[in-house]
Amino acid sequence: MPLESLTIGLIPADGIGREVIPAARHALEALGSDIPKPEFIDLLAGFEYFTRTGTALPEETVQILRQDCDCALFGSVSSPSRKVVGYSSPIVALRKELDLYANIRPVFSVAPNPGEQPNVDLVVVRENTECLYVKDENLSEGPHGKEARATRLITERASRRIGQTAFELALNRPRKHLTIIHKSNVLSITDGLFRETVRGVPGLPDSNGKYDHVAVMEQLVDSAVYRLFREPQVFDVMVAPNLYGDILSDAAAALVGSLGLIPSVNQGDDFVMGEPVHGSAPDIAGKGIANPLATIRSAALMLRQLGYDTGANRLDKAVNQVIREGQILTPDLGGTSKTQEVIDEVLKKI
């Protein structure tokens, strides 16, 4: 039965998150009857909230997302590069709390004319709950001074789930091509398990041969970065453990002009949360020049995962028109426009 309303949790968090999340809200409201009537719940999280309260992710935020929201949008978080006692990234925690095990990051260029093929069109599928992001670190004294160690976790279950997600994406794309990213020539146990498990997905009992037409390639992560810049057209869907996927998708953003264009969704079996790939950008926060397009694209991705393709397509088309025309762009794309001017232009296109 169709939903009468769509309840969306909004978590601006830190920095420019507070400037770009409203852009997505306005864009969603502009879609009218193409989606159920959107209702929004403003929620708290982030480093700045931690500095005031000692908590980065309030339990209330998690509970409201679980009990009251159909989906969510997350802005950005200012995780410090130094150790801060008691602090842990709220976005990492949210992914684990809600079991949002897949981070899907499309990277594509906008062709000069509608209907033309983009020069870059790939998707990074990043495992979202494991690898070094389990944050199991310790510092000790050794014979040569301080020694820092981090535990890296790769499990068969998580690798299988992300592998199935990647194969499904590849199956539904025109090229039907999947590249497994790893470093198992060095990390033969952890990356070896990831590689073998993902490769084994087509042979699972419930696959029933449906992935037979998906071509599978492997690439070591260091050479994948090299090829990404030299010949991005060889990649279609890339699936990677958490850290590699994070690095690869940020690097790929350079191919299309800005992190301010790259959307993502964190998805699990029961929930989806849109999130622009860019960070909190403290150097420009509050100046009114943050690029809102990645967040609007993230809202479109979120809608598509929920089955509202018409609304998602309208958002994507509007963003692409703004980029293609090139008149109203923020400074990261070589323009001089303010955030609100870009938002207004997108709303006109919608």
Q: Cite the active site residues.
A: 133, 183, 222, 246, 250
Q: For residue 194, give the H/E element and its range.
A: helix 190-199
DSSP-H helix ranges across 13-72: 17-29, 47-53, 59-68
Burial track 199-208 (b if 16+ CB lie within 10 A, e otherwise): eebbeeeeee
Kindly state the tokens that stand for 254. Answer: 């350079």
Paired strand residues for 78: none
- Residue 99 DSSP symbol: T
Q: Residue 315 phi/psi, 5° resolution? A: -65, -50
Residue 106 to residue 103: CA distance in whole angstroms: 10
Q: Are 88 and 47 in contact (CB under 8 A)?
A: no
3-state secondary structure 202-240: HHCCCCCCCCCCCEEEEEEHHHHHHHHHHCHHHCCEEEE
Among 157, 234, 238, 242, which residue's Cα sits nearest to residue 201? Answer: 157
Q: Residue 77 phi/psi, 5° resolution? A: -130, 140
